[in-house]
Structure formats: structure tokens, C-alpha cells
Amino acid sequence: MKWVYDGSAAFDEAFDRDGEARAHYRGIVGVLESFTQGEVSRRERLQKLALMDQGITFTVYGEKEGLERIFPFDFVPRIVTAREWERLETGLVQRVTALNLFIADVYGEQKCLRDHVLPPALLLSRREYKRELLDVRYRVERQKLLVSLPGNPGNVDFYASTMRVDLALLHEEDLFRFLGDLRNSGNAYYSVKRCALMRTGQAATAGTTMAPRLRADCDIDLITLLDGAAKQ
């Protein structure tokens, strides 16, 4: 295997400006130089097959070549010295710690909003932000046959379990999100029998605190259908 050094001004991790292997690369360069081009090609093919077999892939939509591709993987390993890694590790730990603390705060105490580090409107307006309900309490009653339905359409019986829900809300939209999630669960049909909204008196000044401002007290029927013939 032969190496080509183009003499460009870009930094080369493996070779210095004279084309000589750097000290920490000399070992791997020596091994690679003992390979023929055919051996290098064979090992690259084996590497791609191993990645595919282990599922180290990603999906690309709209491409004619196929959906599944392996992650780009350099056949030649990149060597990082202990001194370089020490600096990289410090930066990576700092970055991951900051991101984890930010996410925990945004979905927790939200000090970043109270301290004006992040405008609440900027956060709450984002589609990606998962506005969690702060407090949910519910009780589901035993299933009962609905006798108020006129007739018996299609020999189908309707049963309902009344769920009494007490929700703490930041905004009315949280109630709609809850009902939407309930509908999308697909476990049953639902019908809202009663729902009352009340202010908690915890509204913040200038919109800087994310304490629950509303409570919803709702009675919701979870409706299931049963074929009458199946019971016989």
C-alpha cells in the first residue's frame, strides 16, 4: 500500500510536512504498508459486510440505490494521543453535561425561564417541545352497558368506562393535547361528558414562571364495542 502526500496546507494527522509518519502513526502506517492493494480492498469489503450484518446502518428515503446504508467508516483508524484526548474529553464532558442539565431544567423546574436565560415564548412555541402535563390524577370506573343509545345498531353493544380526570395545565392547549393523545392511543373511543376549567391563582408576572395556571376536572367515557352475537 502506497501513500500519496499532496503537500497541501491542510493539517494531516498521520504525516508531517516532509511526508514522514508522525510518531503515534508509525506503527499503523508500517502495518498498512505491508498490505497489497488487493488485501486492502478485501478488508474494506469485509468491514462493510460486518457493519451491515451488525445493523450499523441508517435509512435514506427517496434514493433509488436502496433505503439501508452503512455509516461511513474510515478503513484507516484515526489515532488520538493521550494529550489530545484529554482536551477533547474535557470539552465533550462539558458539552454533554450542559445539554443534560438544560433538558432536565426545561422539563423540570425551568429556572432558565424564570431567570430570563430563555424567553418562555421561544420555548413553548416550538413544535419539538414536549409540553408535559405537570400533574395528572384519574380514576376509572367499572365498565357498564350504555342503555341510552336508541335501538341496537348492527347487533352491537356499547360499553363505557367513565374516567374521572384531574389535570394541572399550563395552558388550555394542554387539555386538547391530552384528549388528542387519548384519541390516538386507539385503545377505545372516547366521549367527553363534562369538563370544567378553573384558574389556580398561580399565574406568574410577565410570564416568567411555569407553575400550573389552570386545573381541568373532566368526566370522560371510554367506549368499547362488543358484537352481541359473540356473547352467545
pLDDT for position 26? 92
Q: Dihedral sign, CA of 39, 45, 48, 54? A: negative
Q: What is the pLDDT of residues 26-69, one digit of tens each?
A: 999 999 889 998 998 898 899 888 888 888 887 776 666 557 78
Determine what percent of the chain is predicted with pLDDT higher than 90.
16
CA 53 from chain centre, in angstroms, equals 25
> Looking at residue 218, what DSSP letter applies?
E
Q: What is the pLDDT of residues 74-87, one digit of tens each?
A: 878 889 999 999 99
Is it the case that residue 113 has pLDDT exceeding 90?
no
Is it the case that residue 179 has pLDDT exceeding 60?
yes
Residue 35 CB contacts under 8 Å (≥ 6 apart), including other chains: 1, 43
What's the whole-number average pLDDT of the chain?
Answer: 79
**How many whole angstroms separate alpha carbon 57 and alpha carbon 122?**
35
Contact 155, 114 (CB under 8 A): no
Is it the case that residue 93 has pLDDT exceeding 80?
yes
Q: pTM (2 decimals)?
A: 0.44
Q: Which of 9-13, 66-70, 85-89, 172-176 has the highest mean pLDDT?
A: 85-89
Pick from 198, 132, 195: which is nearest to 164 by CA? 195
Phi, psi at residue 172, to the nearest 5°? -55, -30
DSSP annotation string for 133-196: -SEEEEEEPPPEE---SSS-GGGEEEEEEEEEEEEEESSHHHHHHHHHHHHHT-S-EEEEEEEE
**How many whole angstroms separate alpha carbon 22 and alpha carbon 3?**
14
**How many whole angstroms separate alpha carbon 97 and alpha carbon 8?**
37
